Amino acid sequence: MIDFFINLSPIYQALIAGIFTWSVTLLGAAVVIFFKKTNDTFMDSMLGFSAGVMIAASFFSLIEPAIEMAESLHSISFLVVSIGFLLGVLLLYLSDLLFNYIDRRREANTTDRKKRCIMLITSITIHNIPEGLVMGVGFGSLVYNITGSSLMSALTLALGIGIQNFPEGCAVSLPLRREGYSRFKAFFIGQLSAIVEPICAVLGAILVIKIKFILPYLLAMAAGAMFYVAVGDLIPESQKNKNRTLMTIVTLIGFTIMMLLDVGLG
């Protein structure tokens, strides 16, 4: 099975990774079938762990290879990486603005259950699009055998995204259940929010493979997007937990594990 995956083209690898992250969202959404509520500490720990993984992945799996690639293309590496990184931050910032706008519209229409449902699923789906692209960039870069870019780093990147998708699935299905939707309908809508990730992963991989000179920009852009999610969303959310010290430790553990996997095995 492992040999089969290794021998696949990066596009198919990206597709499988995207299906994996969507499947984790599916598992998170499935919580609504068995439980009326979830353990907050467990959910916050998963967010903190994911943040640590993403921060480590941003440097070891994305920024470092972007620098190597820019130098091999005789570009000004620090300028290329800085531009790409800030573009990734801007992409997520604009996505966040759209997410918040839709969320405010959803709150303003509390009497319309159907409209509220549509806005909820739309906002989470928009949030998942950049994550799928990030995975695609990670796998697509394997074609060029860049120093620091490896199958292990791409896999651990997908793992970090997948882990944080679990509470995301819960965040959609549980509120829908509270609004009166059946368990199955709340589960179905919850898992549907991440269906864009496999599609965007494939698009990201194809884009990287077809246009080589933009690869360092895309790698750095993916890193900026990852940093934005980790620092602007996951860490603040996990730190709302009353046991902030535990959340910090879990985040550092996530960073350490990702670093060991990437540097030691990558």
* Nearest alpha carbon to residue 64 among 85, 47, 50: 85
CA distance 266 to 252: 20
pLDDT of residue 6: 80
Q: What gap in Å lies between CA 127 and CA 96, rounded to an integer?
A: 7
Cα(195)–Cα(68) distance, integer angstroms: 33
Q: How many CB atoms lie within 10 A of CB 108?
A: 12
Q: How far apart are CA 52 and CA 227, in angstroms?
A: 10
DSSP H helices in the chain: 2-6, 10-34, 40-57, 64-72, 77-108, 113-140, 151-178, 183-192, 196-210, 215-229, 235-238, 244-259
The one-digit pLDDT tens for each residue of the chain (266 residues) are 677 888 888 899 999 999 999 999 999 889 888 766 667 787 788 778 878 877 887 888 778 878 887 887 788 888 999 999 999 888 878 877 776 776 666 555 554 555 555 655 665 676 677 778 878 888 887 877 765 557 877 887 788 788 878 877 876 787 677 667 788 888 888 888 788 899 989 998 998 888 777 778 877 887 888 788 888 878 988 898 888 999 999 999 988 887 886 666 55
Q: Is 1 exposed, middle or buried (0-12, 13-18, 19+ CB in 10 A)?
A: exposed
Q: Please tell me the predicted confidence (pLDDT) of residue 38.
A: 63
Handedness of CA 70, 81, 203, 186 (dihedral sign): positive
Evaluate whether 209 touches 49 at the Cβ level (below 8 Å).
Answer: no
Q: Which two tokens stand for residue 195?
A: 């269906």
Tell me the C-alpha distance between 64 and 79, whole Å: 14
Check residue 128 and give its pLDDT: 77
How does DSSP assign 191-235, residue by residue? Answer: HHTTTHHHHHHHHHHHHHHH-GGGHHHHHHHHHHHHHHHIIIIIH
Predicted local confidence at residue 146, as pLDDT: 61
| 66: phi then psi, degrees, rounded to nearest 5 | -65, -40
Interior CA angle at 198 toward 106 and 31, to 5°? 55
Angular region, 142: left φ>0, alpha ψ -120 to 50, beta rest: alpha
